[in-house]
Structure 1
Amino acid sequence: MPHFEAAAGHKVFYVDGKPFTVLAVEIPWWDLIYGRYKETESVYDRLYPAAEKIGLNALKVPIKWSMVEPEKGVYDFSYIDHTKSMAEKHHLKLVLNWFGHYASGDGTIYGNLTGELYAPMYIVNDEKTYPRAVDGDGLVYHNAASYDYEPIINREIAAFRAFMQHIKQVDSQTHTILMIQVENEIAVFGVDRKNPKMWRDHSPATNKRFADNGFTDDLKFSAWDLSYNWIRRITEAGAEVYPIPFFHNYVGGEIADWMVGGAPGEDVQTYLQNCP
């Protein structure tokens, strides 16, 4: 199983008993179209031979939750199988990126309802069961789900467990899939977050959680809540099934100082502590 080992004060990644340096690029996802996922699953096939030709040894492939669970409780892993087959054909490994509750820096469950649908449509269409995030002025955002209501977290945990179970079934012997990135460039709202009113969800459940845990700083709360109540729980559920390496990307600093996850005053150490 792919794993890290400590060596001379450093962490070294091993695959099949040998050190492995991942040389990869990420392929796109927006031309994989909702309602036509099977029809469009080959749209990026040209990138596999291109990666092999330029000397890469892996590709990073986004996997949208809406592709894995097209209907509630019904799972489809055909795109995962397709990417694995293409990678093996071209002597490549894979890093899979779970695009779940939020993805792509927008902090939204969808950017559009074609190529940027991240959460399944049953989540998008049911605001009562899966409440939406609220900004500091009380405005509700249909495309941003609150991260403090258990139903959506539980649904994503179930889907991620099924995702990892399938990976275990098809890849535990071949080790084509090296590791999993859990979520992508998380945030709260799909708008410019230089506005402090966007630094956390203000839905009733989140307001209660904010007060009950003694927070006064919105950014510190969002870092804690997103990492501890959501990312960690999803990752641990997947690791119980198949414990290959998991990681999470953090967008911050001068590149994107408006992100919840990297806004001024927010401590990346929170993520390191809650998602070790």
Structure 2
Amino acid sequence: MTHINNNGMPRLDKCGDAYRLIVNERPFISLAGEVHNSSSSSLEYMNKNVWERLVYFNCNTAVIPVSWELIEPLEGTFDFTLVQGLIEGARKHNLKLVFIWFGMWKNSHSTYVPAWVKRDTLRFPRVQSANGKKLPIVSCHSEEALQADSKAFAELMRFIRQIDSTEQTVIMIQVENEVGFLGTARDCSPQADKLFEENVPAELIQYLKDHAEHLNAFLKKHWDSQGTDLLGWTQLFGSAAEEIFTAWHMSRFIDQVAAAGKAEYHLPMFVNVWLKQYEEQDPGQYPTGGPNQNVIDIWKAGGPHIDIIAPDIYLNEFAQVCEIYDRPDNPLFIPETRRDSVTAANVFYAIGEHQALGYTPFGIETMDNGVDPWSAGFLPPNHFMVMESTGVGPLLSKSYELLHHMTPVITQYYGTRQMRGILQDTAYPSAVRLGGYRFQLRFKNRLNSESAPAGGLIIAVSDHDYIIAGHGFSVEFTSMEPGKSAEFISIDEGWYEDGNWVPGRRLNGDEYRVSLGSEPQVLKVSLYSH
């Protein structure tokens, strides 16, 4: 990860074992909504259909595409009217922005490039599959493509700096979108074949050697660490060679695009991930070469200007994916996720357990209005496991409101190991330890019922004092001291306003228990052992 001291600018700061996103010199958690892919192409559409919906859901951030084809319709001629309008719209609604650069690739394919790129297949060659088929994907091995994409992205970043460096509405940038090759494990054009026959770059080999103890299981399985430095891709990586080859070259391409943008305006930058959905998927059935679970380490080697590798989590295995992408060299940021009944539980878990920098349901403007984005054509088939509209908007809205006001408190505990997330999930333990006590969790609704699953977080203010937030669960405490029992000193209801505690009822008698209802709430609990 690149670390540059940009005092006053949005940035990532290392905080113990975690990272914090700093915005306007304060820790910030992006409680966001991502708009549909085409929404931001029209300022009128945004004004009529989107901005107020983001406010309704208590989002503090909007995640919004900027399309290359719309800002550089003629080569060398840039029009940033749309970008300026989006920034002004966010400011009017008191929202921060994360822009998505729909540049050379979006969901593998090159569909958001300008017409002058689409038409010129000699200057911007397409990926070729093993059977000779030309795919609608510009090759990452094209120097012309790299230069054109980098120039356009740098112009975008220069414009954002010119109009926004003071107010800092734009806080992060996603570079490209869900990159990789669908339909082939690698580019099999003559140019790519020649590269594939060369030795593996020394810098990649050196990175793998330097990080050998911490590489993921996929690379440990496929990398011949005993080989010499002068070996080809297949010799070093066996059956995984094509995927690793593509990941290396894709990461190098996007790293150079990010570097060009950062040279103009040094905002945090990330890439998002179309995850491999199940182990049996073959390369090409998912975007091969993107920073999926197999090749995160290759991207860390090839992308030093990329601050975060951020998973789009639509799989049911939410907790497992968070575990994979929350690494000492990679903070967790979730730029796309489901918006069905699990989403309000997942946001608490991601923040509490993994100190997530942000959380972003996709298609926020049509949540709860009966539009299924898959059937409406917003999403490609075979991409997402679950995507429903189930009336969960009010629960997400209230969760966002609670977490927004708790942010100054929550971020104090990032990297301290004094906070845990809670998630009603088959992979989540029913008992956890924190501070001086063991917690037994009881969930109020059955998993996979029509009711929303439970989610929350627990902060150990001390060994005996806790802040518990979330919905749908109760907690029983057991002392960690042998032979002693846990008893309450006090249980207080309340809420936070901009980080300040506002006390409510002191619970006792029939209510002398730690139980959070179906709507998000906060309790303060003090215990003693005897």
Given that 1:157 and 1:233 are in contact with CA atoms closer than 8 Å, whether structure 2 keeps it comes out as yes
**Structure 1 partner of 2:228:** none
Which deviates further from its counterpart, 158-167 or 21-30?
21-30
The offset of 1:255, in angstroms, is 6.3
Relative to 1, partners in 2 of residues 1:78 and 1:245: Cα closer, same or farther, differing over 3 Å?
same
The offset of 1:272, in angstroms, is 2.2
Q: Which structure has the larger Rg?
A: 2
State the SS of the aligned residue for 1:250. strand
The one of 154, 166, 170 equivalent to 2:159 is 166
State the SS of the aligned residue for 1:44. helix
The one of 53, 56, 76 equivalent to 1:53 is 56
**Structure 2 partner of 1:207:** 193
Distance 1:250 1:273 in 2: 16
**Structure 2 partner of 1:78:** 81
The offset of 1:41, in angstroms, is 3.3
The within-5 A match list for 1:97-176 is: 97-103=100-106, 105=107, 107-110=108-111, 118-141=112-135, 143-176=136-169
State the SS of the aligned residue for 1:247. strand
The within-5 A match list for 1:157-236 is: 157-189=150-182, 193=183, 198-213=184-199, 214-216=232-234, 217-228=241-252, 230-236=253-259
The residue identity in structure 1 corresponding to 2:276 is G
State the SS of the aligned residue for 1:128. coil
Distance 1:21 1:89 in 2: 20
Gaps of 5+ in 1: 111-117
Per-residue CA deviations over 1:74-118 (Å, capped at 9, x if unaligned) read 111111111111101111000000011110x2x2112xxxxxxx1
The residue identity in structure 2 corresponding to 1:59 is A
The one of 302, 308, 313 equivalent to 1:274 is 302
Per-residue CA deviations over 1:156-215 (Å, capped at 9, x if unaligned) read 1110110110011011000000000001111224xxx4xxxx111111211111111322
Relative to 1, partners in 2 of residues 1:219 and 1:12: Cα closer, same or farther, differing over 3 Å?
same
Which deviates further from its counterpart, 90-99 or 4-13?
4-13
Distance 1:272 1:48 in 2: 35
The residue identity in structure 1 corresponding to 2:45 is V
The residue identity in structure 2 corresponding to 1:243 is H
Q: Aligned pairs, how many?
A: 252
The residue identity in structure 2 corresponding to 1:253 is K
Relative to 1, partners in 2 of residues 1:96 and 1:255: Cα closer, same or farther, differing over 3 Å?
farther
Distance 1:169 1:42 in 2: 24
Identity percentage of aligned residues: 29
Distance 1:263 1:244 in 2: 21
The one of 90, 94, 97 equivalent to 2:97 is 94
TM (norm. structure 1) is 0.86
Distance 2:36 2:14 in 1: 33
Given that 2:31 and 2:61 are in contact with CA atoms closer than 8 Å, whether structure 1 keeps it comes out as yes
Given that 2:250 and 2:290 are in contact with CA atoms closer than 8 Å, whether structure 1 keeps it comes out as no
Distance 1:68 1:209 in 2: 33
Q: Is 1:43 matched up with 2:45? A: yes
The one of 24, 28, 51 equivalent to 1:16 is 24
Distance 2:137 2:292 in 1: 22
Given that 1:132 and 1:145 are in contact with CA atoms closer than 8 Å, whether structure 2 keeps it comes out as yes
Gaps of 5+ in 2: 1-8, 200-231, 235-240, 305-530
State the SS of the aligned residue for 2:99. strand
Q: Is 1:242 matched up with 2:265? A: yes
Relative to 1, partners in 2 of residues 1:86 and 1:4: Cα closer, same or farther, differing over 3 Å?
same
Distance 1:56 1:140 in 2: 42
The offset of 1:253, in angstroms, is 3.3
Distance 1:168 1:3 in 2: 15
TM (norm. structure 2) is 0.46
State the SS of the aligned residue for 1:152. helix
The residue identity in structure 1 corresponding to 2:15 is A
The offset of 1:261, in angstroms, is 4.0
Relative to 1, partners in 2 of residues 1:183 and 1:255: Cα closer, same or farther, differing over 3 Å?
farther
Distance 2:99 2:58 in 1: 19
Higher fraction of strand: 2
Given that 2:96 and 2:171 are in contact with CA atoms closer than 8 Å, whether structure 1 keeps it comes out as yes
State the SS of the aligned residue for 1:181. strand
Given that 2:99 and 2:172 are in contact with CA atoms closer than 8 Å, whether structure 1 keeps it comes out as yes
Distance 2:191 2:12 in 1: 38
